[in-house]
Structure 1
Amino acid sequence: MKILIADDHDLVRDTIASYIQAEANIEVSRSANLHEALSEISSEGPFDLVLLDFDMPGMNGLSGLTKALEANCQKPVGIISGTATASIAEAALEAGSAGFLPKTMSARSLLNAVRFMAEGETFAPVSFMANRNECDHEFDTLLSTREKEVLTGLSKGLANKEIARELELQEVTVKLHLKTLSIKLNARNRTHAAMIARDAGFI
């Protein structure tokens, strides 16, 4: 079995790959963005399963899924994410995704899901999908994924440097996201932004 994992976070990509590679007869290739993934599919594919991080560079929403499906000769392509809502997962399935894998899944569940999708079945955690109404929030349309991640770190009381380390970003990038999300939320400062998030039920 040949699997391609595409994720721009080295730690996440390598961890998932090591989980899967530990299983016999599974060959795992890795890419850091959609462009690399499409090149890998072109040169080494088609793969039995391609896993794409929803938020990595080049994805542009679900258009990256469509491109990968076409490149992989319509063989299974799934979406993985640590931030996407259940509604996005549902849209991905409707667009032809073989499944949706939250990054919070256990190693054993991940392996089972991978095998399931590679065999042509569709996978999505029932507990995750059942909460689609509760998981959605007005901030999902107002803020970008990165802005929401920075806001979450901010609400935890983390300093810019700590948020940058947690998200594997440059500190200057975190400051930029703080500035833009503060403008969108009409927040006077970082403390006010955290209060707005708390009062709105985002955190």
Structure 2
Amino acid sequence: MRVLLADDHDMVRETIAAYLTADGGIDVKAVCDAHAAFDAMQTDGSFDLVLLDYQMPGMNSIEVLKRALVANGGKGVAILSGSGSPRLAKEVLDAGAAGFVPKTISGLTLSNAVKFMCAGEVFIPHDLLIESTVAPTHPLLDGLSPRQIQVLEGVCNAKTNKEIARELELEEVTIKFHVRTLCRKLEVQNRTQAALAAKSAGLF
């Protein structure tokens, strides 16, 4: 099995590549960004699976996913993410991903998931599958992007901008921008009121 892994975090990329290689039967080519991933697909041909980090800087992740599906000749392209959001999982699967792989899963589960997806199956962790199936939609979420919903969830859990930024692997200034946008869309004055509005609606 030939797997292409693209992740801008050196430690994450090297750890995943080492584990998959050590598991046997998986030949991993690891690159640091989407540009290098597209170069690899053009040079080396299609891979049995392409694993793309969802949060690589300067990239529209869904657009990169769609381009990768074409560049990989119709073979599987899956998304790696530091967030285990059911809504995000649904978004990438709806866009054609072969799977949604949270970085919090164990190495053994990751290896099995990769083999599963290389065989042409679609992977999503069982707990996320249940949540995405039963989680109700709510009018309050209309007009919010998956990222804004992730930030709102962090706000509701009383996390600081710095904590949310670290969890989502974003800059703190980006989180501040999302919080301001959330307040405007929810028609509230500050993050406390945003959290109250979401909790009053029974979200999170």
Moved more, 51-60 or 18-27: 51-60
Question: TM-score, length-normalised on structure 2?
Answer: 0.77
Contact 2:86 2:132 in 1 (8 A): no
- In the alignment, does 2:188 pair up with 1:184? no
Contact 1:35 1:58 in 2 (8 A): no
Show the counterpart of 1:88. Answer: 91
Show the counterpart of 1:156. Answer: 157
Query: Per-residue deviation at 1:198?
Result: 1.5
Contact 1:89 1:100 in 2 (8 A): yes
User: What CA deviation, in whole Å up to 9, does each residue of 1:141-182 have, x standing for no partner?
Assistant: 432233223222222222223333333332222211111111
Q: How does 1:46-195 map to 2 (within 5 A)?
A: 46-54=46-54, 56=56, 57-59=58-60, 61=62, 63-81=63-81, 82=83, 83-85=85-87, 87-88=90-91, 90-92=93-95, 95=96, 97-138=97-138, 141-195=142-196
Mapped partners of 2:54, 2:135: distance in 1: 17
Mapped partners of 2:195, 2:18: distance in 1: 36
Pair 42,84 (structure 1): closer, same or farther in 2 beyond 3 Å: farther
Contact 1:137 1:202 in 2 (8 A): no
User: Residue 174 of structure 2 aligns to which amino acid in structure 1?
Assistant: T
User: What CA deviation, in whole Å up to 9, does each residue of 1:57-116 have, x standing for no partner?
Assistant: 53453x433321221122222234433525435524xx3x33333444332222111012
Which ranges of structure 1 fall in alignment gaps of 5 or more residues?
none
The count of residues paired between Structure 1 and Structure 2 equals 199
Which ranges of structure 2 fall in alignment gaps of 5 or more residues?
none
User: What CA deviation, in whole Å up to 9, does each residue of 1:129-150 have, x standing for no partner?
Assistant: 3443433533654322332232
Question: CA RMSD for the aligned pairs?
Answer: 2.9
Question: TM-score, length-normalised on structure 1?
Answer: 0.78
Mapped partners of 1:175, 1:33: distance in 2: 25
User: Residue 167 of structure 2 aligns to which amino acid in structure 1?
Assistant: E
Mapped partners of 1:84, 1:149: distance in 2: 10
> Is the partner of 2:128 in helix, strand or coil?
helix
Show the counterpart of 2:35. Answer: 35
User: Residue 188 of structure 1 aligns to which amino acid in structure 2?
Assistant: Q
Mapped partners of 1:200, 1:8: distance in 2: 37
User: Residue 129 of structure 2 aligns to which amino acid in structure 1?
Assistant: M
User: Residue 137 of structure 1 aligns to which amino acid in structure 2?
Assistant: T
Pair 25,87 (structure 1): closer, same or farther in 2 beyond 3 Å: closer
